[in-house]
């Protein structure tokens, strides 16, 4: 165990040399003309390439912005079903669909591979057409469809398709929410605070989903899916406000 | 929604949920991070956490259960800091696909966790090492080295942009 730790610490020390700093402080990493180019294009886009000092006063001021908590809530709403799928897909496959332990372990992988590809494809579309909200709503809608299929259809193959659909679509949502939030924030200090507040939603969502699938609801876990759907309902309100 | 939430509060998972609380102060404390703020996630904190677990006989039982494991996972989960750094470096409509490329690794890691679990059951006892230790070795070293390699790839792209 100690030897393993030494390897990690050794790799970490190389990070002090290799990890890059913010664009305006990356003197050893970029040549002066490269640095000027990067700063210029970021300033042309959103005007906050120069980092501002993060003080306690600024953090408190940023924390008073109610819109930051909307992002947090959006992420919370997405990670509850997301974490549930992460934690319990083998359980769904084993108890809900009748696969063996080995099969359920192995069948966990394909939906996640599908989710990774969908995430990247949707991000390309989102960036190309410069839209975030409609793509987010599309993913939410198909996640709900996937969860209904997983919860209520009796055929195991169709239920597995529901896992593909639900899990494949929901994985994109926290990522695009963070990207959407980053698009709407100016100044490095606020970006740092906003990242923290947004990901607090992720932590709280993890707390909720940690006890999601009750043994007493086995093997269908229908109440659990309804619980996850509860978290999607307020998203409509938050998206409308934003 | 509230009733469903309350119905999920089973005693057996209270430690798991409590462990997520570690995230919250940790994230707030990291508000002032720069690139060096990401570094503790890459080695010392997970290693210290592991060291504490190794000496588990001297620690309370609750620490050695889910809380410690979750702390370890969250500290290792440095993609939160990296997400912030990526959003600082790129323009608004370059961020999405770069975050996606980064998060794809996380999503695929989740996917392969099942296969890894299956493999570890076959590896248990090889070289006298328990299967779960093999998992910890792979989890720690591979992602960090990948991240450092990505830094260099990033540099090449930017220089030739």
In sign, the C-alpha dihedral spanning B1, B6, B7, B11 is positive
Please tell me which of the candidates B39, B104, B113 has its beta carbon nearest to residue A12. B39
| Residue A114, pLDDT score | 92
pLDDT of residue B129: 64
DSSP-assigned states of every residue in A47-104: S--SPPPP-HHHHHHHHT-HHHHHHHHHHHHHHHHHHHHHHHHHHIIIIIT---HHHH
Residue in B42, B83, B110 nearest the CB of A11 = B42
**What are the start-end ranges of the E strands in A91-238?**
none
Chain B residues touching A110 at Cβ < 8 A: 111
In this prediction, residue A19 carries a pLDDT of 67
- Does the beta-carbon distance from A226 to B4 stay under 8 Å? yes
Q: Which pLDDT score is estimated for A122?
A: 93
**What's the CA gap between A171 and B29, in Å, rounded?**
27
Percent of chain A beyond pLDDT 70?
79
Q: What pLDDT is stored for residue A11 in this prediction?
A: 62
pLDDT surpasses 60 at A123? yes
- CA gap A180, B112 in Å, rounded: 28
Q: Residue length, chain B?
A: 161
Q: Would you give the distance in Å from CA B72 to the centre of its chain?
A: 7
Q: Whole-angstrom Cα distance, residue A42 to residue A49? A: 6
- What ipTM was reported for this prediction? 0.80
**Chain B (105-134) residues lying within 8 Å, Cβ to Cβ, of chain A:** 107-108, 110-115, 117-118, 133
Max mean pLDDT among A20-29, B28-37, B134-143 falls in A20-29
Residue B47 and residue A5: Cα distance in Å, rounded? Answer: 5
- Could you say which residues from 199 to 238 on chain A have a Cβ atom under 8 Å away from some Cβ of chain B? 199-200, 202-204, 206-208, 210-212, 214, 223, 226-227, 230-231, 233
Q: Does B142 touch chain A (CB under 8 A)?
A: no
Residue with tokens 């919250």: B24
Residue A17's φ and ψ, nearest 5 degrees, are: -90, -40
pLDDT in tens, A9-29: 666 666 666 667 778 777 777
Residue of B5, B13, B141 lying closest to A11 (CB–CB) = B141
Contact B4 A5 (CB under 8 A): no
Give the pLDDT confidence of B69-128 residue by residue, as tens digits: 444 444 444 666 677 778 888 888 888 888 888 888 878 877 877 777 777 767 766 666
Mean of pLDDT values over A127-146: 88
Whether B46 and chain A come into contact, CB under 8 Å, resolves to yes
Residue B3 tokens, joined? 């009733």
Range ranked top by mean pLDDT from A180-184, B18-22, B81-85: A180-184
Examine the pLDDT at B65 and tell me if it is beyond 50: no
Segment of A76-80, A102-106, A115-119 carrying the highest mean pLDDT:
A115-119
Kindly tell me if the per-residue pLDDT of A168 is higher than 80: yes
Q: Do B43 and A104 touch (CB under 8 A)?
A: no
Query: Which of A32-36, A206-210, A226-230 shows the lowest per-residue confidence on average (mean pLDDT)?
Result: A226-230
Mean pLDDT taken over chain A: 79
What pLDDT was estimated at residue A9? Answer: 64
Residue B80's nearest CA partner among A191, A134, A219 is A191
Indicate the pLDDT class of residue A83, thresholds 50, 70 and 90: confident
CA distance A229 to A62: 31
Residue A149's pLDDT is 85
Mean pLDDT of chain B: 57
pLDDT value at A200 more than 50: yes
Angle between helix axes A172-183 and A66-91 (nearest 10 degrees) is: 160
Residue of A17, A24, A199, A215 to mutate for B, most B C-beta atoms under 10 A: A199
For residue A216, the Cα-to-chain-centroid distance in whole angstroms is: 29
CA distance A140 to A146: 10
Q: Cβ(A156)–Cβ(A212) under 8 Å?
A: no
Give the per-residue pLDDT at B41: 47
**Which pLDDT belongs to residue B68?**
47
Q: Which residue of B has its CA nearest to A21?
A: B35
Cα distance between residue A71 and residue B25, in whole Å: 18
Say yes or no for a CB contact (<8 Å) between A21 and B112: no
Q: What is the 3-state secondary structure (H, E, C) of B74-113?
A: HHHCCHHHHHHHHHHHCCHHHHHHHHHHHHHHHHHHHHHH
**From A82, which residue of chain B is nearest by alpha-carbon distance?**
B107
Which range among A31-40, A98-107, B120-129 has the greatest average pLDDT? Answer: A31-40
Q: Tell me the chain B residues in contact with residue A41 when contact means C-beta distances shorter than 8 Å.
A: 91
> Residue A90: its pLDDT value, please?
78
Task: Give me the residues of B, 61-80, that contact A with CB < 8 A.
Answer: 80
Whether A39 has its CB under 8 Å from any CB of chain B: the answer is no
């Amino acid at each position: 165990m100690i030897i393993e730790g030494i390897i990690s610490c050794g790799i970490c020390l190389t990070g002090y040399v290799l990890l890059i700093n913010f664009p305006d402080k990356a003197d050893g990493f970029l040549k002066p003309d490269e640095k000027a180019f990067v700063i210029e294009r970021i300033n042309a886009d959103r005007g906050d390439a120069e980092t501002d000092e993060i003080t306690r006063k600024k953090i408190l001021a940023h924390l008073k912005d109610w819109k930051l908590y909307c992002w947090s809530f959006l992420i919370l709403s997405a990670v509850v079903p997301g974490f549930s799928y992460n934690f319990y897909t083998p359980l769904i496959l084993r108890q809900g669909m009748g696969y063996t332990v080995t099969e359920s372990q192995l069948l966990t992988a394909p939906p996640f591979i599908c989710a990774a590809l969908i995430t990247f494809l949707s991000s390309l579309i989102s960036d190309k057409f410069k839209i975030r909200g409609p793509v987010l709503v599309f993913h939410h809608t198909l996640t709900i469809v996937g969860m209904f299929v997983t919860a209520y259809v009796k055929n195991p193959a169709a239920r597995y398709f529901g896992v593909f659909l639900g899990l494949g679509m929901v994985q994109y949502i926290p990522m695009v929410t963070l990207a959407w939030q980053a698009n709407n924030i100016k100044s490095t200090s606020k970006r740092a605070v906003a990242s923290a507040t947004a990901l607090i939603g992720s932590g709280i969502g993890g707390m909720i989903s940690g006890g999601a699938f009750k043994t007493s609801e086995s093997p269908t876990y229908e109440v659990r899916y309804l619980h996850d759907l509860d978290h999607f309902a307020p998203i409509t309100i938050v998206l409308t406000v934003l | 929604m509230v009733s469903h939430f309350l119905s999920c509060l089973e005693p057996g998972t209270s430690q798991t949920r409590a462990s997520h609380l570690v995230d919250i102060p940790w994230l707030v404390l990291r508000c002032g991070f720069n690139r060096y703020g990401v570094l503790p996630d890459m080695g010392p904190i997970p290693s210290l956490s592991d060291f504490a677990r190794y000496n588990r006989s001297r620690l309370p039982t609750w620490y050695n259960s889910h809380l410690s494991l979750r702390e370890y996972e969250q500290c290792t989960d440095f993609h939160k800091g990296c997400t912030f750094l990526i959003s600082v470096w790129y323009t608004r409509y370059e961020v999405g696909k770069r975050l996606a490329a980064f998060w794809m690794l996380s999503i695929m890691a989740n996917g392969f966790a099942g296969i890894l679990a299956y493999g570890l059951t076959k590896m248990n006892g090889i070289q006298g090492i328990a299967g779960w230790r093999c998992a910890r070795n792979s989890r720690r070293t591979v992602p960090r080295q990948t991240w450092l390699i990505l830094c260099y790839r990033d540099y090449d792209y930017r220089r030739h942009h």
